Structure 1
Amino acid sequence: MEYQRPAGTPGIASRCPMHGQDFAADPHGAYDKMRAAGPAAPVELAPQVEATLVVGYQAARSVLQNTTDFSRDPRRWKALNEGRISLDNPVLPMMAYRPNCLFTDGAVHLRLRKAVTDSLDRLDIGRIRRDVEPIAAFLIDRFSERGRADLLNDYAKLLPLLLFNRLFGCPADIGDRLTSSMSAIFDGRDALKANEELTSCLMELIALKRREPGDDVTSWLIQHPVGLTDAELKDQLVMLMGAGVEPERNLIGNALLLLLSSGSSGRGAGMLIEEALDHVLWNNPPIANYATHYPLRDVDLGGVYVEADTPLVISFGGANNDPTLRTARQSLSKGAHLAWGAGPHACPAKSPATVIALTAIEAILNALPDLALDIPADRVEWRPGPFHRALAALPVRFTPTPGTRVAALHTPAPTAPSSVPSPSPSPAHPPVPGPAHAQANSGRKKGFWSTFLDIFRV
């Protein structure tokens, strides 16, 4: 695949900026224009950050599966190494090196991925559904009496954050800080400070779980035979949060938009939730552009020159809409789209991610059966950013209903063991606070996670 650029070849064409509102409003139009000129095109991910975007399906699959000519390690990134990208650039939290599954190759990648996949495999589907349902009820109760809500920021954004706190075994204080810092990173609010806080609370969680292991992903990673260090544990948890929270929020939000859209095409009318999820994964994948690779040498990608050690970003959204896939896309064939990636770095959590979205959507549609968009579907706004396909908001209206769903879930404890054992009181599983405890903590404003734990003690 090595490529010698011919002498006199014209310079790179003008780059498509992927960080503005124009791209967010019509990314598919941009992908079509790029694809008309070749399987890849020059883009600007953010100010100062140049890359090549792969929009052709065959070229994307080829890069994803090729471990000989491409590396996932961003320490090869020439522009960053030469100081041409500022350290506060908004895309660095998603692109800078961390020793986790996303940014490693070869034996190192296999070792880290083994710990992650084995730990995720211990999450059975029944447990995931049982963990999602009370969180959904808690969030719906917070707005159901109003008759109006923003399903993106009131529901789809918060549910994955709270769920991951539960799956990681977070106590209240750490969970509140984790939720806040992850939200800030994804929203682009003071990312450097948020990243420092995220690191701090995860290291506290790891220290706690080394002392008091539980039935949670953090403890399973610690106990895995590969023997992850604290630094490696922290970065696998950051990767799991990043790979789970933002995509899950967008998968839920984008599918709800489709299900509630009944315009002239009536595409949402009568569609099953599973069909809506497949439609989103094909046409508006939650992470639309990512899986950055770095060519080990100058390469020819279907006639497109790509310089060594420069970012080569895979467009899942662009590749999925390649005209060569027209038949597979019309049938929504699950095996053909690239929303979950491909090759050695393919997403290891397809089934859990699908079950989380399916359960969350079922819960909101069952709780509010007359749920309807509060604005025309073609007027919703999309959040700018080069990597995601994300709504900025999803305003809806419905008949106000009492917030009694959480109370309905409080049933007598089952005689059989639950999916999450209840150990003796500890910082990870605090007792229900009595009056003295409440008085001592009355001055601290509760976050979403500690408020949830006050209701659902595990």
Structure 2
Amino acid sequence: MTTPPPPPGPTPPPGCPAHRLYGPEAEADPGALYEKLRAEHGAVAPVLVQGDLPAWLVLGHRENLDVARTPSRFSRDSRRWRDMQEGKVPPDHPLTPIAAWQPVCNFQDGAEHERLRGAVTESLERLDRRGIRRYVTRFANQLIDAFADSARADLVRDFAEPLPMLVMTQLVGAPESYGPRLVEAARDMIKGTETAVASNAYVTEALEQLVARKRAQPGRDLTSWLLEHSTSLTEAEIIEHLRLVLIAAFSTTANLIANALRLVLTDRRFRASLSGGHMTLPDALEQVLWDEPPLSAILGRWATGDTMLGGQRIKEGDMVLLGLAAANVDPEIRPDLTVPVHGNRSHLAFSGGPHECPGQDIGRAIADTGIDVLLARLPDLELAVPEDELRWDSSLMSRQLVALPVAFTPRGATVTSATPLPGTGAAQPLPEAAAAPAPGPQDRSPVRDSWWSRLVGRR
């Protein structure tokens, strides 16, 4: 009798079922789930993602670096995903929008990846770092002015979320009037509201208009430098990479700012070290990047052939998830999590290898400068609710504070209040999609319709 071959994909040991990375358990406490998986499986664990599709979650720090640094074994090209090849990831699957292959640098390997990423990184490197901090200071003060007299604020909604996008709007060369609307559109897309499709259309049209404007009148900004780059990017490539930069900067930097401010408000030792000069703000941000990275996991890599990783047999076409948050607390490199890691940038908050985040220093500058301005303006910030009442949204890839309500002594606006936040006064016309209603059922794309809500399991 012939023994049937083992089923493809991750196979947990007998009596040790794969855990879902979605649903109540995963969303309630992702960190606890990671440690349960580490205890059961070691550095690499079989898991299930949306639709109970099998995958491998990499928990070990060394193993994550191994995956990130060897695209010859673990490709970024999702067309290698066996489940997608077999039709198990249809267009309306919740992972399709973030896993389906796209002609952008983070879905490429080899020469094409180098071409596209080179254009992005070389253009980002031309940005004036001192100019970035001036933008951050200006917009941080304007945001604070909007609530400085009220004695209360939500630092997620009123500060952490809008600040990165307002700054990035300037860096890509968009009119200031676009800033607030892009903040709303990005928030809408990520949270998967009923108007997410219209918001996506707005972002696309805004970037199309921006590229057309910069082609006619170039400036000293990211869009103009992508247009003139020697790789001769197509207009579609420029638009898609601008979208990638904007949305990535918005979501990760907003999360970093919110996580750092939460620690300042809830951990007295952390705040005392910061205010007493025992720890600089950049040091504090690195500690946050170790303990609460903006992205907890990255989807994904795909095995180019049968291989071994962390004692597990990975088959060709298997999906592999980089477990950034789990890797950062790997006991092999951090046996005592109470020991500070000041000045140590060997965390994986920005991934690693050829796909490591190219804009991480810009994100650090926005967070560092923005928090510095906030704490200088409102030094007596206090959490306005008990810490255990703070709520989080968790998904496959991140864990985000829903709100961070604070109270403080009203301080009054600064002179920056004479210049209203862009978009609050006379503004240049925005694309029509900015006011587009939520599409009707007959207009909705099965891929784009509230895709993020399906990803995080919220309806």
State the TM-score, normalizing by the size of structure 1: 0.82
Q: CA 1:374 to 1:176, structure 2 compared with 1: closer, same or farther past 3 Å?
A: closer
* Aligned match for 1:395, one of 402, 405, 419: 405
What 5-or-longer segments of structure 2 have no aligned partner?
A: 275-279, 436-459
Measure how far apart 1:122 and its partner are. 1.0
Q: Answer whether contact 1:285 1:316 (CA < 8 A) is retained.
A: yes
Q: Answer whether contact 2:170 2:176 (CA < 8 A) is retained.
A: no
1:162 aligns with 2:174: no
Q: Answer whether contact 1:278 1:334 (CA < 8 A) is retained.
A: yes
Letter of the structure 1 residue corresponding to residue 114 of structure 2: L
Q: Answer whether contact 1:48 1:84 (CA < 8 A) is retained.
A: no
For 1:114, the equivalent position in structure 2 comes to 118
Q: Distance in 2 between matches of 1:100 and 1:8?
A: 33
1:102 aligns with 2:106: yes
Secondary structure at the residue paired with 1:44?
strand
Deviations 1:167-214 (A, max 9, x none): 111125654553333221211224444333322322222112111112
1:302 aligns with 2:310: yes
1:209 aligns with 2:214: yes
Q: Distance in 2 between matches of 1:193 and 1:318?
A: 35
Q: Answer whether contact 1:43 1:52 (CA < 8 A) is retained.
A: yes
Q: CA 1:11 to 1:325, structure 2 compared with 1: closer, same or farther past 3 Å?
A: closer
Measure how far apart 1:83 and its partner are. 3.2
For 2:441, the equivalent position in structure 1 comes to none
Deviations 1:326-345 (A, max 9, x none): 26963415232111221111
Deviations 1:196-250 (A, max 9, x none): 3322322222112111112211111111111100111011112212321111001
Alignment length (residue pairs):
415
* Aligned match for 2:264, one of 252, 259, 262: 259
Secondary structure at the residue paired with 2:393?
coil
* Aligned match for 1:270, one of 262, 268, 273: 273
Letter of the structure 1 residue corresponding to residue 284 of structure 2: A
Secondary structure at the residue paired with 1:189?
coil
Letter of the structure 2 residue corresponding to residue 354 of structure 1: R
1:139 aligns with 2:147: no
Q: Distance in 1 between matches of 2:202 and 2:314?
A: 37
Q: Distance in 1 between matches of 2:158 and 2:250?
A: 14
Q: Answer whether contact 1:141 1:405 (CA < 8 A) is retained.
A: no
* Aligned match for 1:325, one of 312, 325, 333: 333
Q: CA 1:395 to 1:16, structure 2 compared with 1: closer, same or farther past 3 Å?
A: farther
Letter of the structure 2 residue corresponding to residue 33 of structure 1: K
1:357 aligns with 2:361: no
Q: Answer whether contact 2:297 2:321 (CA < 8 A) is retained.
A: yes
Letter of the structure 2 residue corresponding to residue 82 of structure 1: E
**Residue range with higher mean Cα deviation, 221-230 or 272-281:** 272-281
What 5-or-longer segments of structure 1 have no aligned partner?
A: 411-428, 447-458
Q: Answer whether contact 1:48 1:85 (CA < 8 A) is retained.
A: no
* Aligned match for 1:224, one of 212, 225, 229: 229
Q: CA 1:246 to 1:196, structure 2 compared with 1: closer, same or farther past 3 Å?
A: same
Letter of the structure 2 residue corresponding to residue 344 of structure 1: P
Letter of the structure 2 residue corresponding to residue 368 of structure 1: L
Q: Distance in 2 between matches of 1:161 and 1:154?
A: 12
Measure how far apart 1:69 and its partner are. 1.1
